[in-house]
Amino acid sequence: MATFLELSTKAKMPIVGLGTWKAMEELVDEGLVKAIGISNFNHFQIERLLNKPGLKHKPVTNQIECHPYLTQEKLIQYCHSKGIAITAYSPLGSPDRPWAKPGDPSLVEDPKIKQTAAKHNKTAAQVLIRFLIQRNLAVIPKSVTPEHIAENLQVFDFQLSDEEMATILSFSRNWRVCYLRDLASLEDYPFAAEY
């Protein structure tokens, strides 16, 4: 049985513990799901899960926030070394988030991203998505308009150079869009660890 935490929005968020993982493994065993994964786990939490006595199914993916301002290099390296894929959410920096503050950085308006986009005759969003794809990540941008959904798929007809990739990687400033402030007091707050 999962434990739930009530957020300030009154939404209830499940907290996945080792008991919950066992129940998720049973879903795989029963053929009800093909794979199970985790979200926002740091390397300590992943290690605890991988060392769980009787572990039958390891996570297939760790879904984490990832974009040029939060490159997550160490966590991605760690996950890949354990055979865990990364699914990157908020790849565009969630520009339409309701909790944005004036002065927050905007990835889609970053002059260097826009310059790279112009060079490739692409949008900033397409460059941001391509950057993560070239890092061997699954990317899940949020889009609500059919035009943007189609545009987000047009990222396989160009490639960023090694120099462009290195430049964009250098933008990292450990800036998190989804910091889950309501969870910060929990012992297992995932963002307290370096990675």
Q: Which helix (H) or strand (E) holds 126?
A: helix 124-133
Best CA proximity match to 133, nearest among 96, 94, 62, 85: 85
Residues in the chain: 195
Q: Residue 11, Cα to own-chain centre: how many angstroms?
A: 21
75-99 confidence digits (pLDDT tens): 999 999 999 999 999 999 988 888 8
DSSP state of 36: -
The most distant pair of C-alpha atoms in the chain lies apart, rounded to whole Å, by 52
* pLDDT value of residue 20: 84
0.85 exceeded by pTM: yes
Q: How far apart are CA 27 and CA 39, in angstroms?
A: 18
63: tokens are 């879904």
First-to-final CA distance of the chain: 28
* pLDDT value of residue 2: 47
Cα angle value 176/194/137 (rounded, 5°): 60
Q: What is the mean pLDDT of each run of 10 residues along the chain (195 residues)?
A: 53 62 93 95 94 94 97 98 98 86 91 98 98 98 93 97 98 90 82 90
Q: How far apart are CA 111 and CA 132, in angstroms?
A: 18
Q: CB of 66 within 8 A of CB of 137?
A: yes
Best CA proximity match to 16, nearest among 120, 25, 8: 25
Return the SS3 of 139: strand
* pLDDT value of residue 10: 60
If phi > 0 it is left, if psi is from -120 to 50 it is alpha, else beta; for residue 161 that is beta
Q: CB of 6 within 8 A of CB of 12?
A: yes
Strands (E), 22-154: 38-39, 61-65, 85-89, 138-140
Q: Which residues contact 46 (CB under 8 A, 6 or more apart)?
A: 38, 59, 62, 78, 79, 82, 84
